[in-house]
Chains A and B, each alone.
Chain A
């Protein structure tokens, strides 16, 4: 069975500082990896994905994520945090197969950016 772990319930960072939200996964074979963001009382919004190719993936709002196969990690990063980045972030993974696959989500990490 596949699983996704987000070891931090909350990450606190000052505006202007770099941020990292951690994610590790367990998927048999090659993984597809995703990051989603959820603002209060809203649905999830897609940020970025890793399918194949470059290990560093760039996404919306200046976010990027680095795929590390040996460490089975897909950490979300941003060079300079904004207060408006404060939200709940979910990592998700699935196995790359020839048929429609099902996403497994992590438990989420709340990012709090303060002035």
Chain B
């Protein structure tokens, strides 16, 4: 049971390049999300998914795309990298997000440190 895995661990991009950050979980969680972590700003939600084929925007979605073709995988695509996207990116998963009367903590991956020059 690997939990939540993310690749790559580190990445350097030039402005304008595109890339995909990979995220996979083996816990059969329905809910998956992408956050970015910046100094002094905590974690901010980029996109999230409540199940295969369903995605929605979070707090800071601009410049990022996601898709959810399987329960296990939730890749994050940077369409045209900008220096403002330099950050640490975390993927997380949980059983069903947060539902009335229930709540499931999120399990986080180890993160991808992205630098855009």
Contacts and interface: CB of A to CB of B under 8 A. Distances in A.
B4 interface: yes
Contacts of A21: none
Given A43-B111, A90-B43, A105-B43, A100 B100 contact: no
B96 interface: yes
Contacts of B40: 107
A46 B107 contact: yes
A63 interface: no
A51 B102 CA distance: 7
Most buried by A among B35, B41, B98: B98
B48 A102 contact: yes
Looking at chain B's contact residues, the main secondary structure is loop
A28 interface: no
Contacts of B58: 102
B31 interface: yes
A43 B103 contact: no
Nearest to A4: B42
B63 to A, nearest CB: 19
A96 B42 contact: no
Looking at chain A's contact residues, the main secondary structure is loop
A103 B103 CA distance: 11
A107 to B, nearest CB: 4
Interface in A23-71: 32, 34, 36, 41-46, 49, 51-52
Interface in A78-115: 90, 94, 96-108
A-B pairs, top 4 by smallest CB distance, nearest first, are A100-B97, A43-B108, A46-B105, A101-B98
Interface of B: 4, 31, 33, 35, 40-45, 48, 50, 58-59, 90, 92, 96-103, 105-111
